[in-house]
Structure formats: structure tokens, C-alpha cells
């Protein structure tokens, strides 16, 4: 089924350890069938630009490449954005 290819990509900018990131992932658990979670470790050399940008703000989330939220999961905001994308795909 091609529906799965239309899933939005939720990017989590993280590093280890990151208790807030772990917490965020738990909050996202019930929603995870609605997006593809992609984690970006900002401490890796190839991600240094993200490190410079987000080192004091993780977790940071982008949805389909656009900034969505930081520090903690805003379920309402995520829900609104996912709904918009899902309606757009129908």
C-alpha cells in the first residue's frame, strides 16, 4: 500500500545522553504509526551545523524538514500539523 510512503517524517535532533529526548519519545509512542521518526545525533561530525544551532535546545523536532517544536513535545501542535498533512494527502 502506498499510504505508508506518504507518511510525514518527524526528525528528532538529539544527543546522548538526553533524558528529555527519551521522555519525548515516550510521549510520541501513541502517535508513531502516523509518521516516520528519524533521529539525528547532533554530536556526530557530519551534523555539526545542527549542533551549533540546537546544542542548548534539544530535543528539537522538525516535521518534513520544517521546524515544529523544541524542548518538549507539544501534542496539540503535532496533532494539528499531522492532521493538515494527512488531509493534504487524501
**Whole domain around residue 14: which residue ranges?**
9-88
Residue 1 included in any domain: no
What is the per-residue pLDDT for 88?
Answer: 84
Return the CATH number at 80. 3.40.30.10
Residue 74 included in any domain: yes
Residue 72 included in any domain: yes
CA distance 32 to 10: 9
- CA distances 9 to 2, 17, 35, 67, 74, Å, are 15, 23, 6, 12, 16
What is the per-residue pLDDT for 5?
Answer: 62
How many domains does one find in the chain?
1
Tens of pLDDT along the chain (90 residues)? 445 568 999 999 999 999 999 999 999 999 999 999 999 999 999 999 999 999 999 999 999 999 999 999 999 999 999 999 988 877
Helices (H) and strands (E) in the chain, counts: 3, 4
Q: Which of 35, 78, 48 is nearest to 70 (CA)?
A: 78
Tell me, yes or no, if the pTM score tops 0.85: yes
What is the per-residue pLDDT for 1?
Answer: 45
Amino acid at each position: 500500500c502506498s499510504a505508508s510512503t506518504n507518511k510525514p517524517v518527524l526528525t528528532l535532533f538529539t544527543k546522548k545522553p538526553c533524558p528529555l529526548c527519551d521522555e519525548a519519545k515516550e510521549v510520541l509512542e501513541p502517535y508513531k504509526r502516523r509518521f516516520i521518526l528519524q533521529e539525528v545525533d547532533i554530536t556526530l561530525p557530519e551534523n555539526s551545523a545542527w549542533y551549533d544551532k540546537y546544542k542548548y535546545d534539544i530535543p528539537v523536532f522538525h516535521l518534513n524538514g520544517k521546524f515544529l517544536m523544541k524542548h518538549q513535545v507539544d501534542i496539540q501542535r503535532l496533532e494539528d500539523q499531522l492532521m493538515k498533512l494527512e488531509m493534504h494527502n487524501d
